[in-house]
Structure 1
Amino acid sequence: MIKRLMWGIIGGFMIFPLLFMVGNSFMGTLELQEAYGAVLGNAGGGVSMRLIPRYPTLRPLVELLMDSPGFFVMFWNSVRQVFGVLAGQAVIGIPAAWAFARYRFRGRRVLFMIYMILMIMPFQVTMVSNYLLLSKLSLMDTHFALILPGVFSTFPVFIMEKFFRAIPETMIEAAKVDGAGSLCIFLKIGLPLGAPGIMAALFLNFLEYWNAIEAPMTFLKTKSKFPLSLYLPDITTDQISIAFAASVVMMIPAVLGFLWGKEYLRMGIAASGLKE
């Protein structure tokens, strides 16, 4: 009983920001300024945290979806950039992970160690080198400035490699005895059995690039090419109600993706050893 209560309290703390954001997305600008005027710099006094609006309204959502063309431009920019990254990771990362997991070749350990080092490096460390390379390729201020570095991300390779490595060697040997070639084994055994790891890697990277801020701010200069993650910083305090509505809309694809692939995500993370 105590354990359930403890987990319930922890769950409540984790879900509170979500409820707070959704509740405030139905508040008008005046009500939000009344509640958070001290924080926004519009008035003195204290701050009242409200989950349920006194005067619920859909005006912020309607204004966002009907009168904010910039929002849709940035939304489709995010779709183009994020799914471009995921498609590239599927083409490059899946075969790379399979090669690391199932083949033994000279320099494999050293190369995989380099992958691991690159994986733990923060964006600030590789920012200058990426900037110089993209500038040399004349890709700065283009969608490819975000897609190309993401395609060669090492994180999905790390997850998928551990999952591919968990495939029993006896199954691979049996397929070889039956006359299956390397490509057939990869397509008929590797991809189906590695599907949870592949889905987990792609979903985790979807969350990362859907919410990316630093890379777009560094590599993009033209506002018409900005992703949705840069829409909120552009909203002024008198549009605070639209900011909450935009936050909810931006969260919807991630929530739907999680509900659709949560089982793949659980299995992939468990198989990759990240739970430990």
Structure 2
Amino acid sequence: MKQKIILFFLGILAAAACYPIIFLIAGSLMGYQELGAYLAPVLGEAKGFAGWTLFPMYPTLRGYVELLLDSPSFFIMFWNSAAITGGILVGQLLTGVTAAWGFARYQFPGKRVLFTIYIALMMMPFQVTMLSSYLILNKLELLNTHWALILPGAFSTFSVFLMYRFFTSIPEAVIESARLDGAGEWQIFWHIGLPLGSGGIVSAMVLGFLECWNLIEQPLTFLKDRSLWPLSLYLPEISLQDAAMAFAASVITLAPALFVFLAGQDYLEQGIVAAAVKE
């Protein structure tokens, strides 16, 4: 009986967590008149309160058709998001993996101080470093380019912190055995470090994708040309006439993030556990 009660409350919480997604899907299948009836008090000039239903009265794919066939700017922003996210993840993979391995497996002067600085930077919100980042990017003449987002994101400290936890969990006996067998440092990193730390690498990439795909403040700060904007800024202004297309765009924007999350869910759970372990 107790287990059934727990499952019941967990089911309610799960339904509440899934409601925004169901809300978006239902809105993307509604026509203009139905959306107008529900959202006019919010997006229009009607008085009263907005309403909603999870089951469209007259389902239609008109919003998707208009978005995919009549909105070329949507595809431009979609590929902008893909380029920005891909560039950042490749940068994190190249710099983060090597930095995490160095912190985890080698001793050098100032290691603890430097790693503490990494942790401090990880906890700082974007607003704290926004001015300094803007001045540096302006000096390098990278403002209003995708590199203004890719370069700062490629050196993310959180990915280093997460992968560091996995690399430190590799038994020292395994590393020493490889050295005794004549393996060099590069061979140890490539054949032992990467395979055994793959869980941390994948979980860092999954979290990095979810963060980069939904960037808002950084593009608004560093990109002036709308043709360079990512998909996360496609809906800055929503009118009642564009509501169906806006819901369809939100569903399509959500799809890649949801797919990546589900594909890397197991690795993500491992990363959360590893990050929670106190050193």
TM-score band, normalised by the shorter chain? over 0.9
SS of structure 1 residue aligned to 2:53? coil
After TM superposition, the structure 1 = structure 2 runs for residues 231-242 of structure 1, keeping only pairs within 5 Å, are: 231-242=234-245
Structure 2 residue ranges without an equivalent (≥5): none
SS of structure 1 residue aligned to 2:264? helix
1:226 maps to 2:229: yes
Asked if 1 retains the 8 angstrom alpha-carbon contact of 2:40 and 2:240, the reply is: no
- C-alpha distance in structure 2 between counterparts of 1:48 and 1:116, whole Å: 45
- C-alpha distance in structure 1 between counterparts of 2:168 and 2:277, whole Å: 15
Aligned to 1:194: 197
1:60 maps to 2:63: yes
Q: Deviations over 1:212-261 (max 9, x none)?
A: 10000000000110000000114433101111100000011011112222
SS of structure 1 residue aligned to 2:215? coil
Aligned to 1:163: 166
Aligned to 2:33: 30
Q: CA RMSD in A?
A: 1.2
Give the CA deviation at 1:274: 6.9
After TM superposition, the structure 1 = structure 2 runs for residues 86-235 of structure 1, keeping only pairs within 5 Å, are: 86-235=89-238
Under a length normalisation based on structure 1, what TM-score does the superposition of the two structures give?
Answer: 0.97
Aligned to 2:18: 15
Give 2:160's aligned amino acid.
Answer: V
Q: Deviations over 1:163-198 (max 9, x none)?
A: 100111111111111111110000001101111100
Give 2:118's aligned amino acid.
Answer: Y
SS of structure 2 residue aligned to 1:142? coil
- C-alpha distance in structure 1 between counterparts of 2:237 and 2:176, whole Å: 57
Asked if 2 retains the 8 angstrom alpha-carbon contact of 1:197 and 1:272, the reply is: no
Give the CA deviation at 1:268: 2.2
- C-alpha distance in structure 1 between counterparts of 2:40 and 2:21, whole Å: 21
Structure 1 residue ranges without an equivalent (≥5): none
Under a length normalisation based on structure 2, what TM-score does the superposition of the two structures give?
Answer: 0.96
Aligned residue-pair number: 275
- C-alpha distance in structure 2 between counterparts of 1:237 and 1:69, whole Å: 20
